[in-house]
Amino acid sequence: SMARGAINYFDSERHTAYGSQQDKFEAYNAAVGLSQKNGERTLTIDNIAVDDSYLNVFYTLTSETPLALPSTDATPAEIRVSLSAPHFWAVIDGKKLEPTGTIESEAYAVDDRTLKGMERIALTRALPDEFELLLYTGGTDAIKDAEFQFSLAVDKSAVAVESLSVEPKIDFTVDYSTVNRRHDVRVERVSISPFGSTITLSEVASDPFTAFVLRDDQGKYLTRLPAGSI
């Protein structure tokens, strides 16, 4: 169940892009503490934080021997660590959660045998308040290739009071007459929730509509952080 609790990922003095959201993550997260060993490496799911917009995974990876960081010593350490961090896929109630095009993640080295990281998985469809979650990581998105698997029963109902989500199914058209191009787009879902707000659009096209800005009802422009497409 999502509840108030500390997340030790934020204990480091290292800068994190998600530090401004620490209070929200710690207001609604579940302390998991589930570990799995594979060879010399052990992966622990420290916390998960789920609302209507994002599934956030906080983890620790340890190794009995120094972690092999890809690339060369000339590559910045942060990049080498991030390239060695695991990437998660998720199955919700037996149905694979299709990832968006962009992976929102970061990681840092605690020492040469330990790294801590977080990954944000954008949700393009509504999840029930209670669901069965399978998290896995490996070389591909195939479960058979998974290096680590974690099965969890999740209850995010506590976050529901802070979330506003609708599926309006509103259609609109964008017509670029000067280049003879037209987009027929549908607003599938809009979610305003503690971990970030999302808008999900759909279109049948070889070159989908992605160039747009967001503005609120007061005329103010809103920062848009594209989470990719599928």
Average pLDDT over residues 46-68: 95
- Residues β-bridged to residue 221: 215
In 3D space, the residue among 152, 160, 120 whose CA is nearest the CA of residue 32 turns out to be 152
Taking only the tens place, the pLDDT of each residue in 71-94 is: 677 788 888 888 889 999 999 999
- The structure's pTM equals 0.90
Residue 70 has pLDDT above 90, yes or no: no
- pLDDT value of residue 206: 86
Q: For residues 40 and 103, what is the distance between their CA atoms, to the nearest angstrom?
A: 26
In 3D space, the residue among 189, 193, 200 whose CA is nearest the CA of residue 226 turns out to be 200
Q: For residues 58 and 34, what is the distance between their CA atoms, to the nearest angstrom?
A: 11
Structure tokens at 35: 């570990």
Angle at alpha carbon of residue 83, lines to 133 and 92, rounded to 5°: 10
Per the CB < 8 A criterion, the answer to whether 100 and 230 are in contact is: yes
Taking only the tens place, the pLDDT of each residue in 105-164 is: 999 999 999 999 999 999 988 899 999 999 999 888 889 989 999 999 999 999 988 899
Average pLDDT over residues 169-196: 92
